[in-house]
Amino acid sequence: MSLTLILMRHAKSSWDNPNLADHDRPLNPRGHASAAAMGDWLRAQGHVPDQVVSSSSTRTGQTFAGLGFVVPVSYTRTLFHAGPEVMLDVLRDQTSPCLLMLGHNPGIADFAQRLVAHPPRHPRFVDYPTGATTVIRFEAKGWNDIGWRSGQPIDFAIPREMML
């Protein structure tokens, strides 16, 4: 059986209000446009999730809304600035065959690098800029059966390339 993980870092957030807690920072205008562009790109590539699990931050929620998918979403504070081990634990609790996970750097970049057997040929994969999205395929019966270096990268893109 094949499982697909769409691993996305939230789009560009705003730093306009220094009084907001980090968890509460919204997207800036470029972030809203980037989220919409990445949603269009995912649909054009045929990567539509069955379910979404996301950090509970304002910017990840707004990123999901901007993608334009009408699928079940669950928000968890556990993914807010989570490291790769925590992200793997959250992933292993999922059941949908095609899942979108929305999170934050540096954890999401590290998580993506640890999951794939080999990195995609893209210079921005390592630093995973805002809105970066990797689509990873696993040959496994369930999310509990995956581990480090077990995924094959299918696609990778960043918003800047989708908005040219």
How does DSSP classify residue 119? Answer: -
Structure tokens at 130: 């805002």
Query: Alpha carbon of 150 to those of 4, 77, 91, 145: distances in Å?
Result: 12, 26, 14, 10
CATH code for position 92: 3.40.50.1240
pTM of the model: 0.97
User: Which run of H or of E encompasses 100?
Assistant: strand 98-103
The single-letter code of the amino acid at 45 is Q
Which string of DSSP letters, residue by residue, matches 26-76?
-B-HHHHHHHHHHHHHHHHHT---SEEEEESSHHHHHHHHHHT--S-EEEE
Range of the domain at 87: 2-162
User: Total structural domains in the chain?
Assistant: 1
User: pLDDT (tens digit, 0 to 9) for every residue of the chain, 164 residues total?
Assistant: 899 999 999 999 999 999 999 999 999 999 999 999 999 999 999 999 999 999 999 999 999 999 999 999 999 999 999 999 999 999 999 999 999 999 999 999 999 999 999 999 999 999 999 999 999 999 999 999 999 999 999 999 999 999 87
In sequence order, the 6+-apart residues with CB closer than 8 A to the CB of 123 are none
